Chain A
Amino acid sequence: MYPMGSIPNRHASGQRTLWAQRCWKTRRGLRYTVRMNTQPSEQALRRQYEDTLVITGTGVMAFGVWSLAKTVVVAVLRMDLLMWEVFGREVSGKEALLFFFVLGVMLLIDLVIRLRLGLAARAEGHGKSGQKTSLVLATLLAIPSLASILFSLFSFITGSHSPFELVDMVVTVAIELTSFVLLVEMIMAVVRLRALRASSQPMGSEGHGNE
Chain B
Amino acid sequence: MSNFQKAKSVLFALAMIASGVLLLVAGQSGIVFVALALSVLLMAYGIKKLAFYLTMARHMVGGKMLLYLGIIALDVGTLALTFLDSPNIIVVLYLVGAYALSGVLSVLRSREAQKLGGSWKLRMCSGVVSLLVAATCIVFIQDATILLYVFAAGLIYSACLRIIQTLRTTDIIYIA
Contact = CB atoms under 8 A, between A and B. Distances in A.
> Chain B's interface: helix, strand, loop or mixed, by majority?
helix
Contact of A70 (B61, B74, B79): B79
Nearest to A174: B71
A66 B72 contact: yes
Interface in A43-76: 51, 55-56, 58-59, 62-63, 66, 70, 73-74
Interface string B63-82: 01101100110111011011
Contacts of B114: none
A137 B67 CA distance: 23
Nearest to A58: B65
B104 interface: no
Interface stretch (A103-111, A144-152, A164-172): A164-172
A1 interface: no
A182 B71 CA distance: 13
> Chain A's interface: helix, strand, loop or mixed, by majority?
helix
A139 interface: no
A77 B89 contact: yes
Contact of A77 (B65, B67, B72, B83): B83
Given A77-B89, A167-B78, A51 B62 contact: yes
Interface in A171-203: 171-172, 174-175, 178, 182
B128 to A, nearest CB: 27
A174 B79 CA distance: 14
B28 interface: no
A66 B74 CA distance: 12
Contacts of B71: 171, 174-175, 178
Interface string A21-38: 000000000000000000
Contacts of B68: 58-59, 62-63, 178, 182
Contacts of A55: 62, 64-65
A77 B79 CA distance: 11
A178 B73 CA distance: 13
B93 to A, nearest CB: 8
Nearest to B74: A171
Given A56-B64, A164-B82, A182-B68, 13 more contacts: A55-B65, A77-B86, A77-B89, A164-B81, A167-B78, A168-B78, A171-B71, A171-B74, A171-B75, A174-B74, A175-B71, A175-B72, A178-B68
